[in-house]
């Protein structure tokens, strides 16, 4: 394996053995990794992960977290679900990305949480999250509950995704804003 020193080669081989024993459908799960609720997670065919990833399915619901085929998640990605996070095929997720379908408390509607409630004891509220096929999520992105990202979209580094995005767009910022879309007629990316 080109480019690895002896310690790097040992780490990759150890990770490969772990993957083939514990997550047979995946291509490579690099260690260390934390996967809680694995019975409620579908890693899809050919998943590759970086080191220090954390994937948490936090309730008893079947298939809370679902990856499509040939996804790649890089180092220190944290994905946490109490309801539903669905990730399409061929999705690329850069390092230090956080994706969640829930939050501590409810801050709109009739049954709201109050400021004096202890944050750790506020009831959890959730909304499903979906990433379409061939989505690229940049470094340090945070994807929040209720978001749907369309096929082939790109999320720029350090963006906070608080609303759904259509297919074939480039979006960035805090909160995220679409800055380009792919024009089918001219076959070019058009600035907005």
CB 22 within 8 A of CB 9: no
The catalytically annotated residue of 23, 78, 102, 104 is: 104
Which residue, 76, 94, 78, 75, is CA-closest to 157?
Answer: 94
Token representation of residue 190: 């058009």
Residue with tokens 């948490």: 56
d(CA 192, CA 182): 10
Known catalytic residue: 104? Answer: yes
3-state secondary structure of 142: strand
Beta-carbon-side half-sphere exposure of residue 81 (alpha carbons within 13 Å): 28
Residues 152, 158, 160, 163: what is their CA dihedral angle, to the nearest 10 degrees? -20
Residue 68 burial (CB < 10 Å; 0-12/13-18/19+)? buried
Q: Which residues of 112-131 are buried (b: 16+ CB within 10 A; e: fewer)?
A: ebeeeeeeeeeeebbeebbb
Residues tagged active-site: 104
């Amino acid at each position: 394996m080109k480019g690895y020193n002896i310690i790097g080669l040992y780490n990759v081989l150890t990770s490969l053995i772990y993957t083939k024993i514990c997550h047979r459908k995946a291509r490579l799960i690099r260690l260390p990794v934390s996967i809680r609720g694995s019975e409620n997670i579908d890693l899809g065919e050919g998943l590759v992960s970086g080191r220090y990833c954390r994937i948490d399915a936090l309730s008893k619901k079947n298939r809370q977290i679902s990856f499509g085929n040939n996804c790649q998640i890089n180092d220190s990605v944290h994905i946490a679900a109490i309801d539903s996070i669905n990730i399409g095929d061929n999705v690329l997720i850069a390092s230090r990305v956080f994706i969640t379908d829930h939050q501590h408390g409810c801050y709109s509607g009739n049954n709201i949480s109050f400021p004096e409630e202890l944050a750790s004891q506020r009831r959890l509220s959730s909304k499903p999250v979906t990433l379409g096929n061939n989505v690229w999520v940049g470094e340090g992105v945070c994807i929040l509950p209720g978001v749907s990202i369309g096929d082939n979209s790109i999320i720029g580094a350090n963006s906070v995704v608080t609303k759904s995005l259509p297919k074939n767009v480039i979006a960035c910022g805090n909160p995220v804003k679409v800055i380009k879309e792919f024009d089918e007629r001219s076959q070019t990316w058009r600035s907005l």
